[in-house]
Amino acid sequence: MDQAAPTPKPSPWSLTPSEHEAGPPRLSAFVKEARPASFSLASSRNARLIEGLRRRIHGIERHVPESPRSNRHVPWTVGAADADMCLGPSGLNTQAVHEIKPGSARASATAASMGFALRLAARHLLLLKAAHPDSPPPRILWCISRTSTYETGELYIPGLSAFGLEPASFLIVETVRASEMLWAMEEGLKSGGLALVIGHLTGTAGRIGLTPARRLSLAAEQSGTPCLLLTPEGAPPAAATSTRWRIDTAPSAAHRFDARAPGAGRITVTLERCQHYLSGDPLSFVLEWPHARGAEAHRIPVAAALAHRTVDASQPKRRTG
């Protein structure tokens, strides 16, 4: 701890050496008490320090050995400033389960939520690639039920490329029973050789019990592999998740050349639960995903609010033959 570091004002986040020496239990208590209601990025340096300490405390509390991947400094974020502010400087927890739910029971909303999972996966792979530039990136375990290939469809390579994802990074598990899928996800998390585990639970299987959810969470924590859990709209929230997102379709952006054609895809993202974001109202915003052109693919601008749009005001009168 460098006391000489210039801090604009004494922040509750800075620790004195004496406090540092006081031992894990006190530190833990201190951080818990001092957690502010709304998050402020007063000093990025302090924030980084706090994050390091918090991770250490977490490790001490849970008796988890610090995994080699967890000391990466680039956080896993959504790529939109609003959302990333809520997530805190550490971004999405890479050792936890994140739940993603569609906004409605329609297949299009489910596809949008799966698309959001793909976006997060693409960003996570990018981070891993940056951390280990020499080795090929690890794979993503994509767990689906057989029925979902008929309901929402299966991954389609030509469309995946638009997300900046390569087909080789996907290892797909197709199961019939929910118990098999949860088992496969847990095995994937425990293996430690994967970048990410994504599980899409459908129908009644989406009602994930307390024990399986806790098992997934523990496995993610022990191996340092994050897990995205896609559950149906109606199912109650899964236990032991770090964040919960609700995704729905949103009208697409204007097409650059053709006013009548769908433009870049947009989705409505609502952050319903986040460990670091304690404000009462869920945060909601619209994300836009430009189609992949190299590194640009991983940038997600927050879309401007849409004005009221009429159905066919912009469309010229059609000539009919």
Partner 1 sequence: MRHSPNAVPADKPLALVESGAHGLRITAVNSRAARDGVPIGTSLADARTVLPELLSRPAEPARDLRSLIKVARWLGRYGPARNRDGLDGAWVDITGVAHLFGGEDKLLIDLIGRLASFGITARAGLASTFAAAHALARFANTGTAFAIAGSGEDRDSLNAEHASPGTERFSFGAERAALATLPIEGLRLGPDTVVLLKRLGLRRIGQLYGVERAALERRFHADRAGKSKARHAGQHAEAVLMRLDQAVGLTPEPLRPLAALPSLSVRRTWGEPLISAEALAGEIAALTDDLCSSLKTQALGVRQICLTLFRADGTLAHVQAGFSGATNDAPHILRLLREKMSSIDAGFGIDMAVLDGHGAERPAAPQALLDTRIQAAQDGATALLIDTLSNRLGTKSLYTLEPHASHLPERAQRRMTASHPHLALPPAPSARRPAFLLAMPEPITVMAEVPEGIPKHFIWRRLRHRIVKGEGPERIAPEWWRGLGATAQDNRTAAAPSNTSASEPVNSQTAPVVSGDALSAAHIRDYYHLEDEAGARFWVFRAGLYQSASAEAPPRWFVHGLFA
61-80 residues in contact with partner 1 (CB under 8 A) are: 68
Give the tokens for residue 69: 């991947």
Give me the least distance between CB of 96 and partner 1, in Å please: 20
308 binds partner 1 (CB under 8 A): no
Question: Which amino acid, one-letter code, is at 56?
Answer: R
Pick one of 19, 61, 66, 154: the residue that binds partner 1 (CB under 8 A): 154
Closest approach of partner 1 to the CB of residue 119, in Å = 8
Q: Which of residues 245-274 bind partner 1 (CB under 8 A)?
A: 248-252, 255, 258, 260-263, 265-267
Per rule CB under 8 A, is residue 173 in the interface with partner 1?
A: yes
Contact string (CB under 8 A) for partner 1, positions 134-153, x = contact: xxx-xx-x-------xx-xx
> Is the CB of 235 or the CB of 292 nearer to partner 1?
292
- Show the DSSP H helices in 22-106 as ranges: 24-34, 44-62, 81-87
Nearer to partner 1, 41 or 168 (CB): 168
- Report the residue from 26, 45, 62, 132 that binds partner 1 according to the rule CB under 8 A: 132
- Select from 8, 10, 17, 158 the one that contacts partner 1 (CB under 8 A): 158
Burial (CB < 10 A; 0-12, 13-18, 19+), residue 127, is: buried
Task: Choose among 269, 149, 273: nearest CA to 202.
Answer: 149
Q: Look at the alpha carbons of 107, 229, 236, 250 in this order and tell me if their dihedral is positive or negative.
A: negative
Which residue in 70, 161, 270, 284 binds partner 1 (CB under 8 A)?
161
Asked if 168 interacts with partner 1 (CB under 8 A), we say yes
Closer CB to partner 1, 54 or 266, in the complex: 266
Pairing outcome for strands 243-250 and 265-274:
antiparallel
Instruction: Name the phi and psi angles at 84, rounded to 5.
Output: -70, -30
Q: How far apart are CA 176 and CA 148, in angstroms?
A: 10
Handedness of CA 66, 67, 73, 78 (dihedral sign): negative
